[in-house]
Every structure is written in C-alpha cells, then in structure tokens.
Structure 1
Amino acid sequence: MSDARQYFPLPSPFPMRRGGELVAAQLAYETWGALNAARDNAILILTGLSPGAHAASNAADPSPGWWEDMIGPGKHIDTNRWFVICVNSLGSCKGSTGPASINPQTGKVYKLDFPELTLEDVGNSAFELARGLGIDKLACLIGNSMGGMSALGYLVEHPDSVRAHISISTAPQAQPFAIAIRSLQREAIRLDPNFNQGNYDDAHYPETGMSMARKLGVITYRSAMEWVGRFARIRLDHEARADDDPFGVEFQVESYLAGHAKRFVRSFDPNCYLYLSRASDWFDVGEHAPDAHGHGDVAAALWKIHIERALVIGVTTDILFPLSQQEEIANGLRSAGAQVDFVALDSPQGHDAFLVDISRFGAAIAGFLAKL
C-alpha cells in the first residue's frame, strides 16, 4: 500500500443513483503540488477502470505512477503551478470503497451485495472530495477512458463547479462495440468455476476468467497497426513453447497477451471489475436530458454543462472509443458556450495512446493548461 495514499470519508450515508446507499464509505486519493491561497489551482483526475490513485511518484511514494511522465515539477501537468489530485474510483479495489470492502453494517465483505454502481456515483463521490478539500471550483477536471465518462457525470450533475475540462479518449454514452467487448469480459469472469457467484477467496480466485477478460481488453486497447508493427507473425523460439500442448502459445503476440494478463490477475478484485465494467456500459450522459419519448439526448445533456474552456483529445486508431465520439463531446460542449480545442491524434497505439504517447498528448495538455 502506498504511503502517499490519503483517504477521504464520504458523507454518510452516501446515496447511490440507482438506489441504495453506502455507510462510512471512503475514497483513496493522492496529491502533488500545493493548493494556493485562493484555492483556485486544483486539477482533479478521474481514471480508467483499473488504475489506482498513484498517477505519479512523489516524496511519500517514489515508485513510478501510471502517468509518471505527465505529472510533476516542470512536466506537462506542472505541479509547480497546479495542485493535482488523482482519485481512485468509487467501486474500485485500490483504497476506495467497493465490492471488495467490508460492509460496516454486516462486518462482511460486500461482494455482490454492493449497491448498483454508476459512473455518476463515481463523479459525485469525487465532487464530495473536492468540496471536502475546500475547493469550491476546480481549475480543471481531467478524465480519460472510463474516467472521462465519470467526468461528464460530474460536470452535468454539478454545474458551475469546474472552470475547464480535459476529455481524453472517452464517450458520452457506451456504444454497442464497447458494450459487446465488456460483456464478453464479464462473461469470462462469471463462467470461471472459481467465481462462485462472487464468493471466491484467495485460494479459489477466478484466475482463468480474469486472464481472459484482461486479454480481451488489451486487444481493444491497442490498434491493428501497432500489433503488426510490434509482432508481425513472429513465432516464439522452440524452447519457449509447451511441447505437451498442441494448441499452446506459439506466436509472440500470444505471449505478450499472456504476460499482460499474468501481471493483472490477482492485482484487481473480480467483483470490482464487474461493477465498474457494467457501470461503463450503463453510462449515457443523455439520460440527464431525456427527449419527449424518454430517450437520452446527448446534445441536450452536454448543453447543461457550464465550463469556460475544454480540450477534447481523441485518437484516430481508437476502436473502443472512436474519434466520432470525441467530436460529439467537443461539439456539445462548444454549443453550450465553452471555448473548445479539439485534437485528433494519429497515435498508432489506439485507445491506450494517452498512457504511452506522452509527447503528443503532453504537448496538447500543456498548451491548453497554459491558457488557463
């Protein structure tokens, strides 16, 4: 556990959007830089599904964070100027209250008794954290991937609480392709015999299901262009293959996926994965502005968001959150009166480009923040 991790107690009870409530819940978060006297230099980051709050190294925890090259003194998000907060999502298993947490009312792990989770709940909990830190208005709210959807939930639920927004590789509503992939990931976990309706333990962890879910995810996080460039049809050396398995791993790309999965399983709780995945499928910002037939109207919902400026970044090779969805967000925020910079990057890394193509993403983000 990171020494840099801090914990914020959410208001108790904390109401959940689809019903139910949490008692004595908490959010895990980390910070970099210092909040100024006017309390107007705060940047809050909402993450994708699997990262924790440790976005970058700091004095209390020098280990590299998941956005290490982006955040820090003199970096693209310059902590000499900005007070940066990164939140571990409500429902996760990296310090914040979620299905893997103890339910204080029963003394037992929530598991599948955890209330239904939405990304609006994730956004609302982050809003409570900002308010609890004495920040009436964020200088900037940053959301990438699932965190971008959580950020839209934050913005539409709490108008006038944010000056500027950076939206990265996300969506105003879950689309069929992304829903289909996440559905298969959840099915792989639930069909693992060790899942046992969510009643697994360390000795009976659904490792095969989680491994399959992670492999499916990694395939969609990158682009076909990158797979060809990195692996082509290169086969493993004969010594690296299992002679007793005629259908075992043979190509380097298979070995790469296996390595990713091995690092992920047991580092993330399966029930938390299921809840956050389903919350992503449920998300539709348009629900905040239904039309005459009760259907969600994305443009009308985005029109409700009151911010001064926005930067919307998408990647042409992203198959999970395609560029058209970034354009929809940019157009909606622009119609609501925000000054919007739209940046379409041709990074070959697909959806995960914001984690690895730091030079291009960083230049766009630093340029935008310099205007604030």
Structure 2
Amino acid sequence: MREFIPPATRFVRVPDGFRMKRGGVLHGARIAYETFGRLNAERDNAVLILTGLSPDAHAASQPDDPGPGWWEAMLGPGKPIDTDHWYVICVNSLGSCKGSTGPSSPDPATGEPYRLDFPALSIEDIADAAAFTARALGFERLACVIGASMGGMSALALLARHPDLARSHVNISGAVHSLPFSIAIRSLQREAIRSDPQWNRGRYAAGCYPERGMITARKIGMTTYRSAQEWDCRFGRAKPDPATGVDHHSFGPEFTVEVYLEHHARRFVHRFDPNSYLYLSRSMDWFDLGEPCGGDTAEALSRLRVEKALVMGAQTDILFPLRQQRQIADGLRAGGAEVEFLSLESDKGHDAFLVDIDRVGPPVAKFLSTL
C-alpha cells in the first residue's frame, strides 16, 4: 500500500484527538493542500476548493509542479477561477490516498497502514478537516467555497457546521444527499473491489493489488459520469481495428466503447488506494444534510449563512440529477441568499464540470467577479 502525493503538496497537521462523526479518533493526522495565486493585503481574496472523490490537491500547474492539474482549464491566470485575482486553496479530502490521512496512511499506534482500522469516514469529517485547514492557514472568513460532485456535498457540510466561514458558495453537480440510483451504483463498485480475492479484506500487499476489482469498479463509475447521449455520439457501434485480434471466444471487448473503458480504468487503478475508494464512496452514501434538522433538507439549507451562491448542474447528469442542484438553489434562496441557478445544456453528464469548461467556466468567472 502507498500514498500518491503530488510534488507541490503541503500539509497541515490536524490536532491530536481529531474526533470523527461516527466514532473513532485520529492522532497525528494531516491534510494535504496546494495554494495558487497571491493573497492580497486585506486577506479577503481566499477561495477554498473541495474536490470530488478521486482528485488530489493539485488542481492546476504551478512553479513547484508544472504538470497539469485535474482542473487545469478552470484555474489559473486569466482562467475562470482567476489566480491573478484570487488566492486559491485546494484541499485533498480526509480519507484520500493523495496526501491527507486515510486508510493507506501509517497508523501511529502500529506503524502499519490503517487499512480497515481507519475510523468510519463521513462527509462531515472531510468538511471539518477542510475548515480546520482554512483556519490553520489564517482564514476566519473565506470569499468563497467551491465544491463539485462529492466536493459539493463537503462544501454544504462545511457551511452547515462552520457558519460564517465563507461569504459565498459555488456548488456544481452537488447534492444534499445521495439518491437510490447513485447509492446502488456505488454499492456495486464497492462489491467489485471486495469480491476481488486480492483485496484480502483490505490487507492486500504491494504485489497483490486487487486490480480486477478496481478496474470493474472504475468502469461502473465511468459509465455514469458521462451521459448516454455522449456515449452514442462518441462511439456509436464502432468496433476496434480487426488487426488488434479480438478473440470472440473469450468474450473480451468487441466494441470501441469497451476498449475505451478498459484503457481508462487501467490508467486509474494503480494510482488510487482501493480502501480509500471504499471509505470515500460510502461517505457519499451516508451523507444527509438534513439529518441535524430531523431530515428536513429545506430547513437545513435555509440555515446556511451565505450572502450569494451559484448553483449549477448538467441536464444529462444521471448520478446527481439536475433536480438535486435545483433543490440546493431553492433552499439557499429560502434562507435569504442571493442565488443564481443554471441548468447546463451539456451532453457530458456528471463530468461536465471537468470537461465542458466552455459551459461551466464563464458562469463561474462571472459569479466570482461580483464578489
């Protein structure tokens, strides 16, 4: 087991005895982050980015790490999140394997990786750790907190648990809780990992990585990150070059879309810890913003203290459907926030925030310019 830490990563040490929402305590934990841009003299231009399930803190290229980041097209000088104006902090989620303490990190009590001895992880824990990081860096009031996908959940939890930490909020393809379809999909992903004999109840060795389970889990996820319309337009019923020698008797890939899924899943699997995948995935299923309000999501949203918000989602998103973003917008508006809601006509599905920057970027840039 190992962690995957980008070169420019910095760390904040979490106070000893960090208590998790569902029980358990972390000792010697850390949160990984990167910063972009410059802080102004008034220290009021700080923006916090909370990520989806798999990204690290390297959201964009910078001098200490010139390699492209996972949100390269969105973040940087002159880009929608303009680092000529904003000082941006991107935090890697607690429970990840990209620098923040998670199942692949050493347990200080044993010196061995936590594996499944890592405490039960909740979105609220991720939010608390991110809020602590912002404060440890000297910020009691952020200009904006931005979250997409799981990061949208984490951002809502942060706003609920740490009132007044941010003046405004951008929520892209987020949700107040998971719907049955997305829970079902993630349960299949976890089952694929757990069913791989190499997983060995979380105690897989470096030479026995549960590759097949992770590949299958990633393929399941990828089919839901994009839309059926895009798959149709992009691949149709195209088949690979016959020269590749498809063996029909093995029931292997016979369509281009299958080859695409296999290729991209293989690129991912050895760069992410299977146990982190399990923990983070389950945290999304558990999350319910309305839980402290007796399940009343509208009440929970109306209590969030932000002055302004931009909420958007893709019409073709099947994982976090557009009605979930509309719910967030309506709830924030009911609480007195000035809210803009956008329905994006993108065929990129849930991944629109990553790949359809021509549609996602301009509204974010316009919103930030009003702060």
Q: TM-score per shorter chain, which class?
A: over 0.9
Q: 1:175 aligns with which of 166, 172, 179?
A: 179
1:219 corresponds in structure 2 to 223
1:43-54 counterparts in 2 under 5 A?
43-54=47-58
1:249 aligns with 2:262: no
Deviation digits for residues 124-151 of structure 1 (CA, Å, limit 9, x no counterpart): 0000000001001110000000010011
Q: CA deviation at 1:245?
A: 4.0
1:244 positional shift: 6.9
Does 2:75 match 1:71? yes
Calculate the aligned-residue CA RMSD, in Å. Answer: 0.9
Distance 2:249 2:273 in 1: 30
Question: 1:285-331 CA distances to partner (integer Å, 9 max, x unpaired)?
Answer: 011211xxxxx111111111000000001110000000000000000
Local SS of the residue matching 1:86? strand
Residue 103 of structure 1 pairs with residue 102 of structure 2: no
CA distance in 1, matches of 2:110, 2:250: 49
Structure 2 match to 1:259: 263
Tell me how far 1:260 sits from its aligned partner.
Answer: 1.1
- Residue 360 of structure 1 aligns with which residue? 359
Do 1:241 and 1:248's aligned partners in 2 also have CA atoms closer than 8 Å?
no
- 2-structure distance, mates of 1:316, 1:288: 30
Point out where structure 2 has 5 or more consecutive residues left out of the alignment: none
- Whichever residue aligns with residue 331 of structure 1, its letter is D
- CA drift of 1:2 comes to 2.7
Write the distance in 2 (CA, Å) between the matches of 1:346 and 1:174. 22
Q: Distance in 1 between matches of 2:142 and 2:292?
A: 22
Q: Percent of pairs identical after alignment?
A: 60
SS in 2 for 1:170: coil
1:272 and 2:309 matched: no
Give the drift of 1:240: 1.6
- 8 Å Cα contact 1:189/1:210 also seen in 2: yes
Provide the secondary structure at the position in 2 that maps to 1:271.
helix
Are 2:19 and 1:20 equivalent residues in the alignment? no
CA contact (8 A) 1:241 1:249 kept: no
Amino acid at match of 2:284: S
Q: What is the distance in 1 between the residues matched to 2:206 and 2:243?
A: 32
Q: Give the 5 Å matches for 1:53-202.
A: 53-202=57-206
User: Match of 2:297?
Assistant: 298
Partner Cα distance (2:256, 2:220) in 1:
16
Aligned residues: 367
Residue 286 of structure 1, aligned match among 282, 287, 290: 290
* 2:36 and 2:89 in contact (8 A); partners too: yes
1:334-353, aligned counterparts within 5 Å? 334-353=333-352
**What secondary structure is seen at the aligned counterpart in 2 of 1:195?**
helix
Q: Is the 8 A contact 2:6 2:98 kept in 1?
A: no
CA distance in structure 1 between the aligned counterparts of 2:367 and 2:34, rounded to whole angstroms: 23
Counterpart CA distance in 1 for 2:354 and 2:34 is: 18
Q: Deviations over 1:86-121 (max 9, x none)?
A: 111000000000000001112111000000000010
SS of the equivalent of 1:313 reads: strand
Query: Given that residues 14 and 31 in structure 2 are in contact (C-alpha distance below 8 angstroms), is that contact kept between their aligned partners in structure 1?
Result: yes
